[in-house]
Amino acid sequence: MTSLKKIFEQYYAPNKFLQFNKNIALYHYIKGLAVNSQSVNIIFEGIKSKGAIHPDDFIAYLHKIGFKTWEDLLAFITAVDKTSFNYNPIKDILFPKPPDIQYNCKVSSSRLWQDIRQTGFKVPPLKIDIGDDPYYYLVPDNKVMELIRACPSNKFQYIADSRDCDDFARILEGWFSEQNLGNVAIGTLHTGLKFHDGSVEDHAMCWLMTEQNKLWMIEPQNDDYCWEWGKAINWPHVIDLIPSRMSI
């Protein structure tokens, strides 16, 4: 059996601009193998409109809808009868809707700033972004992890400069905005990660505020790395968040 990655690896590109062209080439390659274009269009739904999607994300999607190997995919695109195939559109995999949560508690932006400071979070010197909406909805405390797990930002491949930490933070915030939830109390944190060996790395991640005024730190690239401010940092080798040298 041949892995999908082995077939797709020739279509990897170093940045999103070149990736668009590579994905078009991948589409035409698979289309050329198909009995008819309908089968390929089913698989590639959403890919052409989001042309810079990384092949690793596409492979993850194919795995989730049942294509574990290249032979699995080839059998489908060369088959005449597609009636037994049940699939979910790729946009529902890569861009799922947030959980159905009732946001009942809202505060003004000035009150949100005040509540964040009362958690002991040092603003400044640590720098966070809050938008200019007149009010923000706080996240129910019992829904924090459900919300973090549902976020699609960690499904994307890291690409230096073109999709790095600040881009991942924007993906997470954009996920809310796309669902008309742009005024949920979540935003970007600019910080420095201090490691056990004393080294420091400038970083962008996210923060989230709950109804019980608990401030959460969220790493959009890995939903395992999240914790409530004031408690132990849930991130291997990171011992502290310090002011980012980029924001001084």
How many angstroms separate the CA atoms of 54 and 32, rounded? 21
Q: CB–CB of 44/27 below 8 Å? A: yes
Residue 123 pLDDT level (bands cut at 50, 70, 90): low
How many angstroms separate the CA atoms of 72 and 84, rounded? 14
Q: What is the pTM for the complete model shown? A: 0.65
Question: So what's the pLDDT on residue 178?
Answer: 77
More confident residue, 119 or 176: 119
Q: CB–CB of 29/98 below 8 Å? A: no
Nearest to 59 by CA among 97, 26, 101: 26
More confident residue, 223 or 76: 223
Residue 89 has pLDDT above 60, yes or no: no
Residue 70 has pLDDT above 80, yes or no: yes
Domains with residue ranges and CATH for the chain: 4-94 (no CATH), 106-242 (3.30.460.70)
Q: For 192-219, how does the pLDDT look when each residue is reduced to its tens digit (9 = 90+)? A: 999 999 999 999 999 999 999 999 999 9
Neighbours of 143 (CB within 10 A): 18
Q: What percent of the chain has pLDDT over 70?
A: 82
How many angstroms separate the CA atoms of 137 and 145, rounded? 17
Angle formed at CA 165 by CA 131 and CA 205, multiple of 5 degrees? 50
More confident residue, 121 or 199: 199
